[in-house]
């Protein structure tokens, strides 16, 4: 038994230390309380809804979210807009459909089943409009960056004057959290840029937190059910393990040996 | 197998068993005499079987939703994660299951190294095990390519390019592997096919592995031959079944922790960026379980020799039963080997660590020293140790050390003095 515990603690130690070592550049990211971390972590509904507002009013002009559908906005575990609200959001977008019976493409208001409308038709068009840099798709962006939510949250607030020894080309900005410190995206947020419906003060910090929460949900839409199921599964396994342990002791008591 | 005289009780059972002796097999498996002093390091065989079955079942389910096409693979994985019912669960079990599989197999291999389980008469079990391990690495590598992320694509490019080191035919082999002039759709579809095939090859080899095990029976922590069945053994069922089950549950708790609370910690963030042949990631690293061999590969300055070193590092294990000249199996009675064993464990962990680091400066130096030591251990230390080492007296049966509390020296010495 003692050996087994030792074994498992060594295993966990090795694995976690190994995976941490992948983060090549160590930067201290800004910290904030994320409601979705921890054993019972859940999304802050209001923050998700505000985050969607920031995304759609600010980010969406350049960044696509091609793996999300409008129906996701009304699904449990997400921003949980009402179905009517989600329908209204979808309908506010023009979607290209077709071909119709005449063989022509046409536009119509969006439906719940439509994917998020993309700001550009393709990667080349996105690059052409952004000085050669492709604004990455944001669907899984949080999982595609080593620092995860802390990195995105910090990056949004990391714009500052470039130090005198750094020279920046036209259309390049200085960000202390960006890999290499040079970023092609101008500071996207400024105080009061959006007007929150719930009266929350739209500071850069608040908007960064809201939109990052929204991005976490878009990358892991089933995070809440994962945490809930995980807790049940582990409690179940622990109870079963204890029961099996005592049955094992009982069975092995018939022979002169230890387990 | 000592139970050929088994006869089913019922008439129908006898009729069936005379035509296909499945019931004899079942009886053999439940009665199989197992040393009663097996410790928890011996439970990883059962855990590995569980891992294989889990990978096959989740893999089959994923394959129903996955699309093996360069333009659609990444999207189909997102489809699984978002829209397939419990798709996220199945995929996270499969992805983390690979890591759990390797974790268990490394413990299984190092248990064998510690207790000398590879020695006569168990060489064939060991060699089949090494083949399974090789196939596991191939399956894991190809599986990692399937999501078609950046690390998938560039990992595949780096590893397949290794074959170009082969003189004369290398370039041709690489083109043949790729099905074109770069890693692309034909590469993805063939990797998917092979990734689907290999687990079933492994399953077949696992049957042979267990069959070969059941001929001489299990080794044990004391490492001595025992009479079977005797008071040194217990029937597999219920004793070993319940013990393996208990250990498996402990293992599943760790497994569940990763799946539900840290599902991406063992993967690389870059693999959530869709493959892009025009953009090379800053650091291309394989999954953690391949890192020691990656370190060996990079520690040799010459490409061909690097590949040779990496392959030899694995294949050297296959001849281990003949490199280890010691007649004593268990490290418990080999004081010197025991120390070298732990140095080897540290050496492999160091190789894993530097494998994740950029191959430059101090890291490269450490990798070279660790690589040299790895080969030194198998090619020099083990053969010499067998002749030079003064081993401790070995007990005559399991019952003594067990009754004495643990397989310790005192019990063994006691017995010896009595004999004298």
pLDDT in tens, B381-419: 999 999 999 999 998 888 765 444 445 555 545 544 444
Cα–Cα dist A3/A12, whole Å? 14
User: Between helices B303-315 and B291-299, what is the axis angle to 10°?
Assistant: 140
Residue B416 has a pLDDT of 46
Both structure tokens of A17: 């230390």
Task: Determine, for residues A255 and B103 on separate chains, whether the beta-carbon distance falls below 8 Å.
Answer: no
Cα–Cα dist B361/B148, whole Å? 32
Residue A24 has a pLDDT of 45
Residue A188: strand, helix, or coil: coil
Confidence category of residue B115, pLDDT binned at 50, 70, 90: very high
Peptide bond into A148 cis (omega under 30): no
Residue B404 has a pLDDT of 46
Residue B219 has a pLDDT of 96
Nearest Cβ partner of A144 from B89, B107, B269? B269
Task: Determine, for residues A11 and B103 on separate chains, whether the beta-carbon distance falls below 8 Å.
Answer: yes
* Average pLDDT across chain B, whole number: 93
* Average pLDDT across chain A, whole number: 91
The answer for A 132-191 residues in CB contact with B (under 8 A) is: 136, 139-140, 143-146, 148, 179
Residue A147 has a pLDDT of 92
Residue B236: strand, helix, or coil: helix
Span A37-61, mean pLDDT?
96
Cα–Cα dist A61/A118, whole Å? 9
Size of interface A-B (CB pairs under 8 A): 127
- Strand-pairing partners, residue A94, are A109
What secondary structure letter does DSSP report for A72? G
Best to test chain B binding among A152, A230, A232 (most B CBs inside 10 Å): A230
Contact of B103 with B287, CB cutoff 8 Å: no
Task: Determine, for residues A15 and B285 on separate chains, whether the beta-carbon distance falls below 8 Å.
Answer: no
| Closest chain A CA to residue B251 | A8
What tens digit of pLDDT does each residue of A83-102 get? 999 999 999 999 999 999 99
Nearest Cβ partner of B246 from A22, A179, A248? A248
Round the CA-based radius of gyration of chain A to a whole number and report it: 24
Both structure tokens of B115: 């207790």
Query: Which is nearest to B58 in space by CA: B232, B212, B255?
Result: B255
Chain Cα centroid distance, residue B405: 31
Residue A171 has a pLDDT of 87
Span B243-267, mean pLDDT?
97
| Closest chain A CA to residue B149 | A144
Contact of A43 with A213, CB cutoff 8 Å: yes
pTM for the whole thing?
A: 0.92
Residue A21 has a pLDDT of 46
- Strand-pairing partners, residue A183, are A173
Cα–Cα dist A95/A88, whole Å? 14
Confidence category of residue A180, pLDDT binned at 50, 70, 90: confident
First to last CA, chain B: 36
What tens digit of pLDDT does each residue of B211-236 get? 999 999 999 999 999 988 888 999 99
- Of A22-31, A130-139, B369-378, which range is least confident? A22-31
The tokens 């497994």 sit on which residue? B255
Nearest Cβ partner of A226 from B88, B254, B399? B88
């Amino acid at each position: 038994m003692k050996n087994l515990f030792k074994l498992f603690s060594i295993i966990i130690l090795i694995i976690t230390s190994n995976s941490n070592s992948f983060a090549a550049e160590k930067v201290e990211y800004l910290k904030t309380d994320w409601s979705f971390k921890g054993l019972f972590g859940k999304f802050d509904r209001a923050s998700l809804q505000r985050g969607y507002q920031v995304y759609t009013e600010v980010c969406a002009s350049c960044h696509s979210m091609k793996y999300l559908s409008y129906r996701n906005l009304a699904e449990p575990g997400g921003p949980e807009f009402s179905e009517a609200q989600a329908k209204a959001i979808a309908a506010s977008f023009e979607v290209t459909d077709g071909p119709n019976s005449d063989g022509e493409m046409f536009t119509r208001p969006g439906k719940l089943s439509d994917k998020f409308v993309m700001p550009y038709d393709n990667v080349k068009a996105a690059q052409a409009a952004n000085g050669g840099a492709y604004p990455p798709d944001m669907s899984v962006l949080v999982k595609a960056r080593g620092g995860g939510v802390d990195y995105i949250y910090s990056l949004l607030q990391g714009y500052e004057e470039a130090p005198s020894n750094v020279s920046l080309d036209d259309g390049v900005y200085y960000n202390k959290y960006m890999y290499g410190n040079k970023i092609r995206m101008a500071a996207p947020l400024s105080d009061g840029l959006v007007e929150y419906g719930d009266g929350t003060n739209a500071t850069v910090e608040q908007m960064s937190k809201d939109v990052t929460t929204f991005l976490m949900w878009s990358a892991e839409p089933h995070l809440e059910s994962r945490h809930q199921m995980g807790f049940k599964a582990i409690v179940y396994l622990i109870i079963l393990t204890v029961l099996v342990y005592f049955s094992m002791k009982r069975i092995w008591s018939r022979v002169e040996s230890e387990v | 197998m000592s139970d050929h005289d088994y006869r089913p009780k019922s008439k129908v059972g006898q009729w069936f068993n005379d035509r296909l002796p499945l019931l004899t097999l079942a009886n053999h498996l439940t009665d199989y005499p197992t040393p009663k002093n097996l410790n928890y390091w011996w439970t990883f065989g059962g855990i590995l079987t569980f891992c294989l079955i889990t990978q096959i079942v989740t893999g089959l389910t994923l394959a129903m939703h996955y699309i093996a096409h360069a333009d659609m693979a990444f999207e189909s994985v997102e489809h699984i994660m978002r829209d397939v019912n419990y798709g996220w669960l199945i995929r996270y079990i499969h992805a983390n299951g690979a890591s759990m599989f390797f974790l268990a197999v490394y413990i299984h291999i190092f248990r064998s190294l510690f207790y000398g389980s590879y020695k006569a008469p168990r060489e064939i079990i060991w060699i089949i095990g090494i083949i399974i391990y090789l196939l596991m690495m191939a399956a894991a590598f190809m599986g990692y390519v399937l999501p078609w992320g950046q690390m998938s694509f560039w990992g595949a490019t780096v590893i397949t390019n290794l074959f170009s080191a082969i003189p004369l035919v290398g370039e041709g082999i690489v083109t043949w592997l790729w099905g074109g002039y770069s890693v692309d759709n034909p590469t993805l579809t063939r990797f998917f096919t092979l990734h689907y095939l290999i687990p079933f090859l492994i399953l077949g080899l696992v049957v042979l592995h267990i069959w070969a095990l059941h001929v001489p029976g299990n080794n044990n922590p004391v490492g001595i031959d025992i009479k079977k069945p005797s008071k040194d053994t217990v029937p597999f069922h219920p004793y070993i079944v319940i013990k393996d089950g208990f250990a498996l549950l402990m293992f599943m708790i760790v497994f569940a922790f990763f799946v539900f609370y840290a599902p991406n910690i063992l993967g690389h963030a870059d693999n959530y960026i869709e493959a892009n042949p025009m953009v090379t990631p800053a650091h291309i690293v394989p999954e953690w379980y391949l890192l020691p061999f990656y370190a060996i590969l990079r520690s040799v300055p010459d490409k061909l020799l690097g590949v040779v070193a990496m392959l030899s590092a694995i294949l050297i294990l296959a001849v281990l039963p003949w490199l280890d000249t010691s007649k004593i199996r268990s490290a418990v009675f080999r004081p010197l080997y025991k120390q070298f064993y732990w140095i080897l464990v540290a050496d492999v962990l160091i190789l894993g660590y530097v494998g994740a680091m950029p191959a430059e400066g101090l890291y490269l130096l450490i990798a070279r020293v660790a690589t040299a030591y790895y080969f030194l251990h198998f090619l020099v230390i083990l053969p010499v140790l067998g002749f030079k080492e003064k081993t401790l007296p070995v007990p005559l049966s399991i019952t003594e050390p067990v009754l004495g509390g643990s397989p310790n020296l005192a019990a063994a010495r006691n017995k010896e003095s009595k004999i004298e």
